[in-house]
A and B are shown apart, each in its own frame.
Chain A
Amino acid sequence: MSAAPDYVEVVSGWRVWLVIRHEQSLRLQSVVYPTLWEPGREVVARCLRYCSPLAARRGRHRVHAAPDLGCDCGIYASTLDDVARYLSERRPGPVVARAIGSVSLWGSVVQCEHGWRASHSYPSSLFVSNSGDRSSLDADQVAMALSDYGVPVRSLRAYICDELVAGIRAAA
């Protein structure tokens, strides 16, 4: 018999995603690792830190479920103010835009000082801004494409991080 869960309601945090082209569609991708977030499908964490061939050769490979208290793995989320600064971080690659949004976290969840690491996650709302990425699409077009995720999607006319956060607070 499995143990009773501690909670029956999801934790809600905030994340930033890259918006990329994927098979004729626009999709969310994690910023640090190229994890694709597919519409209608929860993302399930696995530890990528100890799974690299280099780590395995060094004997550091330790298979464990994600997230683990002794590791840094899991699906990250934090507060709106903390994650918004990652919107301006530029990364190479075919990035169409950046999105910020709230996420539901559940399964196994590590509560940290300023956020969470979870085993399961899915967006619960998305906001797209005119981020200055080299893209032929404006925020409205990106927002429309992201409606595939089945969650509320808004486009915001904001170029500065503080304006974007204020816009999100006003819309929420």
Chain B
Amino acid sequence: MTRNMEHSEGRLDLAVIDRYLKEAAAATRAEARLADPHQLLWRAELRARSRAAERAVRPITVFRNLALGASAATGALLLASGDLPVAAALRRFLELAPGLGASLGISVISAAALAALWLYSSWAEG
């Protein structure tokens, strides 16, 4: 009997909950201030155009970044191989101060890593 009473109480609760929520919903719906659907359609079209433009430009952005990365890598290689007057001057300077060699190497590696990171982030954004 107790179980039956609990059951019927639960059903009563359910009915009350249902009624209250529906009343609240009806009252809230009545106050809804909604955007003009035509405006939404227009905004959706603008977004679609904007995304299409972004997609069209993305390969250019990626290749530009690749080119910049390749230039940086080539520059670093030329400096390291020593075929440029600047590289020769740098080597002479390093001979005067041998301790700087290691730190310069670390700097070059760090710069390359930063360039790679920047390249990757540009590509990810694109």
Are A and B interaction partners?
no
Question: CB within 8 Å of B: which residues of A?
Answer: none
B positions within 8 Å CB-CB of A: none
